[in-house]
Amino acid sequence: MKKQIIVFLLTYGLILIFLFSFSSFKNEKSYNGNSDIPNTIESKVDSILSLMYLNEKIGQLVQYSGGWDATGPSSSKGDQHKLDKLKKGEVGSMLNVSSVSAIRETQKLVMEHSRLKIPLIFGYDVIHGYKTIFPIPLGETASWDLDIIEQSASIAAKETAASGINWTFAPMIDVSRDARWGRIMEGAGEDPYLNSVVGVARINGFQGNDLSDIHTIAACAKHFAGYGFSEAGRDYNTVSIGEYELHNTILPPFKAAAEAGVATFMNSFNDIDGIPATGHKLLQRDILKNEWDWDGFVVSDWGSIGEMIAHGYAEDKKHASEIAMNAGSDMDMESYAYEAHLESLLKEDKISIAQIDEAVKRILRIKFELGLFDDPYKYCNEDREASEVYTKEHLAIARDVAKKSIVLLKNENKILPLSKKLKSIAVIGPLANDKNSPLGNWRAKATYNSAVSVFEGIKNAIDNNTVVHYAKGINLTIPTVEEGSNQFLHPLKFNTTDRTGIDEAVEIAKKSEMVVLAIGEDAYQTGEGRSQTNIGFFGLQNELLEAVYKVNKNIVIVLMNGRPMDLSRVSEIAPAILECWHLGSESGNAIADVLFGDYNPSGKLPVSFPHHVGQEPLYYNQKNTGRPYSATHVTFSGYRDAPKSALYPFGFGLSYTTFDYNKLELSKNDISKDGELKVSVNVTNTGDRDGEEVVQLYIRDLVGSLVRPIKELKGFKKLMLKAGETKTVTFVINSKTLEFYTANKKWEVEPGEFNVWVGGDSNATLKGSFKVSSN
């Protein structure tokens, strides 16, 4: 008995000494391996690990979804299980616990009851804003403005942190080439380079320069890997790609994220060539953790460890836990697999304690970097929650981001910008006065119906001398849940029979000088689980368009959507089309800024828009076949009933002014494999308005050890040009520009001939060439 007391006192004495020692390490960063500064965070992590029992270690690898009253009685057996585990210190993270008060109470369960008092990290899906909502990521990428993309993520982080949350499951950096896939709205489109630089901008915005800063949160690069290549554009579906496609197309954005210091990765639902990503050792252990030397932690996607059973890759959750742990998946999100089976797997030598310890260390490291050990309640301040969320300043920036994300696709006879002196405007369409759809799918804590509608934005922009008529025309959807409730888990039902409002729309179109027709997609047509075989206009929208067009040809289409759509008929008849995506809180005001010329549109498409859904997946950087397309011969690669090319190509976007490219010059025509050259071009604003242009650089490696794409984006610069002004734009091409994962199974530059283009979209024709020599 005496011996037990002595052991007890010694153990708790060590714990107290260790806990008191935390204060001396405030704000110190982890050791990067290249400094003489003591690795203080690593030493603290090791100290905690040495004190932990196995159940507490396994607990750090467990993440639960919350959303209950932590202080009140348990509402279910499942809730009671979570509460008990929290009090024992057997939970590492919670998601979907939001608000300062709820997070404080949940954190208290751990800090006041558990043995070691290791704080929780709280996660939430903050995808394009927290309360202030920015454009959906695909739309925001259309700005091609890395500074404002970083700024919007920074504001999202500030609001999120002010609400008690310190980890977001963003950015999604899956290269996505299929418009049928609903989650295309959540990423940066079809190009690896654009996904890389946009992903890094978002990571920098979320995480800032210091994770311990109270206004920053941990980011999560997802989905690792291949999710955007799901067969047939069907969510959660299998992915069939080769090794070289994986390395050259899918992995570059993730490598860029790892190099940028992203705190966490999330694995993906899909399998790759028969191996579920959650259980993919090559991806998680070999490439991410070892080859890239990344020191954050990997969280599974929701239930994806357990889903390996449905894949037919695991017999049961115990087997799934074994596979996932051996593969390098550190934290189990909502599978309840690790907590149930890791201990027995350890006893059976199917996993090792070294693997568990490594996973725990990775999670503890991020918690230290966030400053949670210094103050577990550092994010729990009601004053900040009240003063730093949904501010006028944030809304003003949201408007700026939104207007820069709009893409002008067509402007026949310069119908845009509209005059503010028009006598009458008809604002028509099921989305014209919709205050909810602009919030998009992943709207975090946005207030239902809080966005500025197109109708409101137009009214705000003009004076009382212009008569603004409004008619909804049709209802796009039929309500399936109570208005204002969460539509996320409910399928949409579209109106295909009620035409009673079309006559009213036709009447106001007849008596108006100009028609603004807002059509497209409901916010919940895109996002997770929202795959479609039809990427056209659902419901009665085509009938409404045709009816209005018959009586008034002066139509401006305001397109609100989350994916590339089939615009073939719209493009044929409408003189003007604005691609407006789902633009967030200030949507209507931003759209009005562009409609009336207060802002000259500068957006460019991050995805190709097809002539027909049958072209999907469609992307600009295809490979040539042995029989490239011929319009005059049958047995060549193409379609007999549609063009092979896009209706609106990657990188495309018009302006209210025009730009001319000339004098393409290369500083050298021959460089070594480790050499560099400069490409310069003169860009002139040839119109009568000031405007911004995104100058894009593309290359082609003409012959390689692998078939190379016909064009690849390798750089871009966005610049403002005054009317009549010329600027010289210069790009540097070096080994990083030219290297790829070759047939030698390594990244290298191969000698040979290269073409280079500079222009305003992926169809750029201003061309040069150079040679890379082997020496």
* Helix locations, 88-175, DSSP H: 100-113, 137-141, 146-162
pLDDT band at 76 (very low <50, low <70, confident <90, very high): low
* Residue 534 identity: N
- Could you tell me the pTM of the whole model? 0.94
727-753 in b/e form (b: 16+ CB < 10 A) is bebebebebebbebbbeeeeeebbebe
- Averaged pLDDT score across all residues of the chain: 93
User: Reduced to 3 states, what is the DSSP secondary structure of residue 349?
Assistant: coil
Distance, CA of 241 to CA of 167 (rounded, Å): 31
Residue 302 near residue 258 (C-beta atoms within 8 A): no
Of 92-101, 282-291, 381-390, 632-641, give the lowest mean pLDDT range: 632-641
Residue 726 near residue 683 (C-beta atoms within 8 A): yes
User: What confidence tens digit (pLDDT) does each residue in 544-598 have?
Assistant: 999 999 999 999 999 999 999 999 999 999 999 999 999 999 999 999 999 999 9
Residue range(s) in the chain whose domain bears CATH number 2.60.40.10? 659-773
pLDDT band at 181 (very low <50, low <70, confident <90, very high): very high
Q: Which of 145, 191, 301, 330 is catalytic?
A: 301
Distance, CA of 687 to CA of 326 (rounded, Å): 61
Higher-confidence position of 4 and 197: 197
Cα–Cα distances in Å, from 683 out to 30, 77, 345, 660, 670? 45, 66, 64, 6, 25
pLDDT attached to residue 491:
83
Query: First vs last Cα of the chain: how many Å apart?
Result: 78
pLDDT band at 635 (very low <50, low <70, confident <90, very high): confident
* Residue 423 identity: K
pLDDT band at 28 (very low <50, low <70, confident <90, very high): very low
Distance, CA of 430 to CA of 522 (rounded, Å): 9
Distance, CA of 560 to CA of 254 (rounded, Å): 29
State how beta strands 555-560 and 576-579 pair: parallel
Give the residue from 655, 668, 565, 658 showing the smallest Cα distance to 603.
655
| Domain 402-605 CATH (choose: 3.40.50.1700, 3.40.50.1980, 3.40.50.720, 3.40.50.1000) | 3.40.50.1700
Average pLDDT over residues 73-86: 79
pLDDT band at 775 (very low <50, low <70, confident <90, very high): confident
User: What confidence tens digit (pLDDT) does each residue in 282-336 have?
Assistant: 999 999 999 999 999 999 999 999 999 999 999 999 999 999 999 999 999 999 9
Residue 170 near residue 263 (C-beta atoms within 8 A): no
Residue 114, pLDDT above cutoff 80 = yes
pLDDT band at 68 (very low <50, low <70, confident <90, very high): low
User: Reduced to 3 states, what is the DSSP secondary structure of residue 533?
Assistant: coil
pLDDT attached to residue 353:
98
Distance, CA of 260 to CA of 262 (rounded, Å): 6
Residue range(s) in the chain whose domain bears CATH number 3.40.50.1700? 402-605
Residue 7, pLDDT above cutoff 60 = no
25-44 in b/e form (b: 16+ CB < 10 A) is eeebebbeeeeeeebebbeb
Of 118-122, 460-464, 722-726, give the lowest mean pLDDT range: 460-464
pLDDT band at 630 (very low <50, low <70, confident <90, very high): confident
For the chain, what is the radius of gyration of the CA atoms? 27
Distance, CA of 320 to CA of 335 (rounded, Å): 10
The residues, ordered by sequence, that sit 6+ positions from 542 with a Cβ below 8 Å of its Cβ are 536, 569
Average pLDDT over residues 431-452: 97
Tokens representing 486 are 């969460």
**301 has catalytic annotation:** yes
**Which DSSP helix (H) or strand (E) runs through 555?**
strand 555-560
Distance, CA of 361 to CA of 367 (rounded, Å): 10
Distance, CA of 462 to CA of 419 (rounded, Å): 9
Q: What is the 8-class DSSP label of residue 172?
A: B
User: What confidence tens digit (pLDDT) does each residue in 245-276 have?
Assistant: 999 999 999 999 999 999 999 999 999 999 99
Q: Please state which architecture CATH assigns to domain 659-773.
A: Sandwich (2.60)
Percent of the chain with pLDDT over 90: 89
The residues, ordered by sequence, that sit 6+ positions from 476 with a Cβ below 8 Å of its Cβ are 430, 431, 494, 495, 522, 538, 539, 541
pLDDT band at 58 (very low <50, low <70, confident <90, very high): very high
User: What confidence tens digit (pLDDT) does each residue in 531-547 have?
Assistant: 999 999 999 999 999 99
Give the residue from 647, 195, 94, 247 showing the smallest Cα distance to 186.
195
pLDDT band at 46 (very low <50, low <70, confident <90, very high): very high
pLDDT attached to residue 67:
67
Residue 93, pLDDT above cutoff 50 = yes
The residues, ordered by sequence, that sit 6+ positions from 285 with a Cβ below 8 Å of its Cβ are 327, 328
Give the residue from 183, 154, 145, 199 showing the smallest Cα distance to 407.
145
Of 39-43, 343-347, 437-441, 725-729, give the lowest mean pLDDT range: 39-43
Residue 638 near residue 644 (C-beta atoms within 8 A): yes
